Structure formats: C-alpha cells, structure tokens
Amino acid sequence: MASQRDIRRRIGAVKNIQQITRAFQFIAASRLRRAQESTLAARPYSEKIDEVLADLAAVLGADDHPLLAGRSGGKRLILLFTTDRGLAGPLNTNTIRFASRAIMDHPGDLSTITIGRKGRDAMRRARVPIEAHFAGFGDRPTFADILPLARLVTEDFLSGEYGQIDLLYTRFISTLAQRQVMEPLLPVKPAQDTEGIPGNQFIFEPNPALVLEQLLPRYVATRIYQAVLEAKASEESSRMVAMKNATENAEELIDDYTLAYNKVRQSNITREMIEIATGARAR
C-alpha cells in the first residue's frame, strides 16, 4: 500500500492537472461561442448562393463554364479538415477514421490536401499522397485566409490534374454532437433541394453566363470557408466537452485518493496506538 506521502503527492499532481483542464474548458467555451456565431451566421449566405447557382444551372449547361463540366476518370483530391492541436476528444480520431473508410470504399488514384496538423500526420502514416498542407486558420478564420487554398484547388481542377475534388470535414450540429461529412466541391453540382423555381427566381444582368463566370470562383471559396467554420466550431465544442469530462474525472480521482489517504492515516494511527499500548504493558 502506498504511503501517506505518496498519496499526498498524487493528490497534488491530480489537482494541478484539474486546474489545467478547467482552464482549457473555460477557454474552449469562450472560443466556442464565437465560432458557433460565425458558423451559424455564414450558413444563410452559403445556402443562398446555392439557390442562385441552381437558377443559373437551369438556364446554362456544363459547356458554359469548365467548373461545371463533369469528367470521367481522372485523379481524385480530398480536402481533409482536422485540428492543429490535440485535447479535442475523439474529434480527430473520428474524422481520420471516416476519411480512411472513404478512401478504402472508393480506391483509386487520389491525393489529399490537409488542413490541420493531425490530418497531415495521419495521412503520412497511412502513406496517402499529400499535395499540399495548410496549417489551421487560427481562432478567427476570415474569408481572405482561405483564398489561396480556393485558388489552388480551382487551378488544379481547371488544369485537368483532378477530375473530382471533395470536402471532408466535421459539421457542427450542437455542442454535444458533430458529424463527419464528405461533400463534392468540384465539379460544381448545385443543390437539388433549394427553394424557389429554378430559372425564374432571379433576373440576371447583364446575362447569366457573365454572372456564372463571376459567381463560380466565389462559390468554391464560400464552400471551403464554410467547411473551415464548421470544423472550427466542432473543434471547440469537442474540446470543451473533453476538458469538462477530464475535470470531473480528476475530481473523482481526488476523492478516491483522499479516501485511500484517510484509510492509510487511520491505519497508521491504530498501529501507533497498539505499539504504545504494547510498550506500556511491557513495562
């Protein structure tokens, strides 16, 4: 059985860890509020641009812009969104497992662009080709931050290097729920469940073709930006829950160690009293 000194040291170590996890919990909670507001505020814009694109697709065809043109065969590119930092619970593990299943279910010639260090390390271990790596876009990602990434994937698609480009990220559902999703990015496929009557909802000036030419690059960047926001909100919510659980587990461990300490202390007191009584009798 451990001595009183050893148990006191363990209690002190667990208390130090508890202070750290509680601090991380509060930091994640404050960041989550900001990330959640940004994510929810950006969703209406993303949905509306889908509606406009659906109207354009109703009056124009794939021949009007190369980003709309589907291709048979060709390499596949996956944009994998993970975190740079750990302590986010099972978020990264679930995302990487989801990506592994997606790659195994559709084998073929593919590469990845990793956004976040955890995904990059996992793809390196799995020997999956990585075309480029982007570090996380910070705690307050902006639309300008993702423009180089959007330009890179657009140019790769237009050059014919890739025939399909997909987004794989964690969608924010609620504080306690996140869901890994994989969505096609290029070629552009307008959403089928948009509201309104396609082709009659908007009047395009000067003409639909020119609007499409200006809209599609913006659409690609918007989709990537929304994925970044969703992944950031999911990261902070998962980290907050993980740190909350760690803090509660530390509290339970402190209680267990305190109980063990009291038992050892009582045992030592009893033994000392027996030794004193035995010594008194011997005299």
pLDDT in tens, 103-147: 888 777 899 999 999 999 999 999 999 999 998 788 889 999 999
pLDDT in tens, 141-164: 999 999 999 999 999 888 888 989
User: Who has greater pLDDT, 209 or 231?
Assistant: 231
Q: How far out from the chain centre does Cα 118 lie?
A: 10
Phi then psi dihedrals of residue 78, to 5 deg: -115, 125
Length of the chain: 283
Q: Report the C-alpha dihedral over residues 120, 124, 129, 134, rounded to 10 degrees.
A: 20
Q: Per-residue confidence at 61, pLDDT binned at 50, 70, 90?
A: low
The tokens describing 134, both together, are 């982007």
Fold (CATH) for 21-242:
Pyruvate Kinase; Chain: A, domain 1 (3.40.1380)
Q: Is the pLDDT of residue 71 over 80?
A: no
What is the Cα–Cα distance from 172 to 227, expressed in whole angstroms?
Answer: 10
User: Could you tell me the sign of the dihedral formed by the alpha carbons of 46, 47, 52, 54, in that order?
Assistant: positive
Which DSSP letter does residue 164 get? E
What is the Cα–Cα distance from 210 to 207, expressed in whole angstroms?
Answer: 6
User: Who has greater pLDDT, 270 or 95?
Assistant: 95
The candidate with the shortest Cα–Cα distance to 199, out of 56, 63, 68, 65, is 56
Amino acid at 224: I
Residue 194's pLDDT is 46
Residues 85-111, mean pLDDT to the nearest whole number: 90
User: Are the beta carbons of 112 and 131 closer than 8 angstroms?
Assistant: yes
Q: Where are the domains of the chain?
A: 21-242
Residue 14's pLDDT is 94
The candidate with the shortest Cα–Cα distance to 111, out of 45, 146, 149, 156, is 156
Residues 6+ apart with CB under 8 A from 181: 168, 169, 170, 171
Which pTM does this prediction carry?
0.85
Task: Report the range of poorest mean pLDDT among 146-150, 187-191, 199-203, 217-221.
Answer: 199-203
Q: Is the pLDDT of residue 197 over 50?
A: no
pLDDT in tens, 228-261: 999 999 999 999 999 999 999 999 999 999 999 9
